[in-house]
Chain A
Amino acid sequence: MPEFHRKIERSAIGFVLAIVVVSSIGGFIEIAPLFTIDETVEAAPDMRVYTPLEVAGRNIYLREGCYACHSQMIRTLRDEVERYGPYSLAVESKYDHPMLWGSKRTGPDLARIGGKYSDAWHVAHLFNPRDVVPESVMPKYGWLQRNTVRTDDLGEHLAAMRAVGVPYTDEMIANAGNDAFGQASPDSSFAAGVSERYGEATQVRMFDGNPEQVTEMDALVAYLQIIGRLTDVAHKQAALAQEGAK
């Protein structure tokens, strides 16, 4: 052994190569699971994609740094499952680019927040969290209600998502702006197209209670109301496990 080491130490190229090989072992072990990701992520054939309004809301969620205080990842721990619902599956963040699992909870986990509370509550809470939860330390986001949401670039956002594997169709990309408007304006002529392109289960509502304009509040609430509901595979799996237990 010392003889081998003496020999390799004296050959510059050989020694550099040896260093590269040894230091890449750890990296390779970390990367290896990604090569088989298609086989290891659960199947969810019924999974829908984010609508343009939800994409806009998700971008606001990113812009405001909501992920710094709210995780979107229910771990496989008893107390988390009892409080928040079925634990998160990999497939549920399949269309999240980047994923928003987060690593810190100043506020509660949001992985199952969709449909848990009413739109009116979300608006009141974002406007001033202390109005509904007196002990909250969350900042106010009332100004979202005054900002009209930018829809002209949503087609490009969808195209970018398609480039990394989200199955948006050409039609969805071409109509992105109209669909974003339609989803928050149930009485408009654009509303029908949203359900047609994104499925009947899509929530077409006036999210912020203001019929006159589509605001950033509309977009953010639309996104909050769809978190965890792109697919119900986690709920199905939990129900199966429960039946198995009986």
Chain B
Amino acid sequence: MDIGERDPVTGQMTTGHEWNGITELYTPIPRVVIFFLVLGTLFSIGYWLLMPAWPLGTTYTKGLLGLDQKTQVEQQLELASAERSAWTSKIESMDFAAILADPALMTIVNQAGSTLFKDNCAVCHGTSGTGSQGFPNLTTKSWLWGGDPQTIFETVRVGINSTHPDTRVSQMLSFGRDGVLERAQISDVVSYVQSLGGVAGEAAADSESVARGKDVFSANCVACHGDDGKGKPDVGAPNLTDAWWIYGSDRQSIFATIFNGHQGHMPHWEDRLSNTDRKLLTLYVLSLSEKKT
């Protein structure tokens, strides 16, 4: 390159190139740009050496640090479970009564259980466990299958009408659709069921209908719901005399339930959640109904 001259107008140096008398000012790339370009290049070379970078057919350069995201996540999970082991080992080894009697441990159970519940159970049973149309309320102490810790734990493990081999199985038959009962008979049973005391805010049906309904009830319903309509936890039949209704307590809802039947489905959690997690959930669910009283 020719040595440039100073441009008389701006006072800057020129590049020394000249085209038909026109010259060009010498304005090089700022030093700082060159500096960062070099820095960036050095960083890339360092990164290529340390981290997984270049594909080599079926494998790749592993990098001097030997980092691998799959082993990393496994290590992190191990670390996390080691951190928790101070109390998870207690949960695992102690029985339900002992854990419930330990307030310090129950504080942890309620925190961890709340997270587990929100991730897994809340979409059906609601974030506060109060359920919704078709999904049972867990805060009522009106348990379908029994409310002691061991029973709840088993329900969480195998589910209800689920694909688990040991699943709890329960079905409300479709008395109307399958032609077991006439429409009039169903209507009478609805009157009788509503008279059992669990329904508020509905006009009382006439006593004749209730009496007819009682006969139909004792012929068809008592096997599962019991002579007094209080339900049988060993077959998961709900109590009809309390104020809690999964599918609604108005005349039409009860009629639809008897006509079409129901077979609620709760998934099983044995494959998805560990023993400790399920135990935590059991205790948390129990605490939901404790809070109510």
A contact residues vs B (CB 8 Å cutoff): 29, 32-33, 35-36, 39-40, 76-78, 81-83, 85, 87, 115-121, 124-125, 131-135, 235, 241, 245
A195 to chain B, nearest CB (A): 14
CB contact between A39 and one of B58, B74, B123, B266 (< 8 Å): that residue: B58
Q: Is the CB of B132 within 8 A of A36?
A: no
Besides A36-B57, A82-B77, A131-B133, 16 other A-B contacts (C-beta < 8 A):
A35-B57, A36-B58, A76-B72, A81-B73, A116-B120, A116-B267, A118-B266, A119-B265, A120-B264, A121-B135, A124-B133, A124-B134, A235-B271, A241-B74, A245-B74, A245-B78
Q: Is the CB of B73 within 8 A of A77?
A: yes
Q: Is the CB of A81 within 8 A of B77?
A: yes
A228 to chain B, nearest CB (A): 11
We find that the number of chain B residues with CB closer than 8 angstroms to chain A is 32
A111 to chain B, nearest CB (A): 13
- Chain A residues whose C-beta falls within 8 Å of the C-beta of B77 in the assembled complex: 78, 81-82, 245
B117 to chain A, nearest CB (A): 13
Q: Is the CB of B55 within 8 A of A29?
A: yes
- Chain A residues whose C-beta falls within 8 Å of the C-beta of B120 in the assembled complex: 116
- Chain A residues whose C-beta falls within 8 Å of the C-beta of B60 in the assembled complex: 33
Q: Is the CB of A85 within 8 A of B55?
A: no
From 104 to 135 in chain B, residues with beta carbon under 8 angstroms from any chain A beta carbon are 119-120, 122-124, 126-127, 132-135
Q: Does B292 make an interface contact (CB < 8 A)?
A: no
CA of A133 to CA of B123, assembled, Å: 6
- Chain A residues whose C-beta falls within 8 Å of the C-beta of B73 in the assembled complex: 76-78, 81, 87
- Chain B residues whose C-beta falls within 8 Å of the C-beta of A77 in the assembled complex: 73
Q: Does B22 make an interface contact (CB < 8 A)?
A: no
Q: Is the CB of A121 within 8 A of B123?
A: yes
- Chain B residues whose C-beta falls within 8 Å of the C-beta of A134 in the assembled complex: 126
Q: How many A-B residue pairs have CB under 8 A?
A: 66
**Can you list 23 contacts pairing A with B, beta carbon distance less than 8 Å?**
A29-B54, A35-B57, A39-B58, A76-B70, A76-B72, A76-B73, A78-B76, A78-B77, A81-B73, A85-B272, A115-B163, A116-B272, A117-B267, A118-B266, A120-B265, A132-B123, A132-B124, A132-B132, A132-B135, A135-B127, A241-B74, A245-B77, A245-B78
B57 to chain A, nearest CB (A): 6
| Given A76-B72, A132-B135: A121 in contact with B55 (beta carbons within 8 A) | no
| Given A81-B77, A120-B134: A76 in contact with B69 (beta carbons within 8 A) | yes
The 5 tightest CB contacts between A and B, nearest first, are A118-B265, A76-B73, A78-B76, A76-B69, A32-B55
B110 to chain A, nearest CB (A): 18
CA of A132 to CA of B264, assembled, Å: 15
- Chain A residues whose C-beta falls within 8 Å of the C-beta of B267 in the assembled complex: 115-118
CA of A35 to CA of B63, assembled, Å: 22
CA of A131 to CA of B119, assembled, Å: 18
Q: Does B86 make an interface contact (CB < 8 A)?
A: no
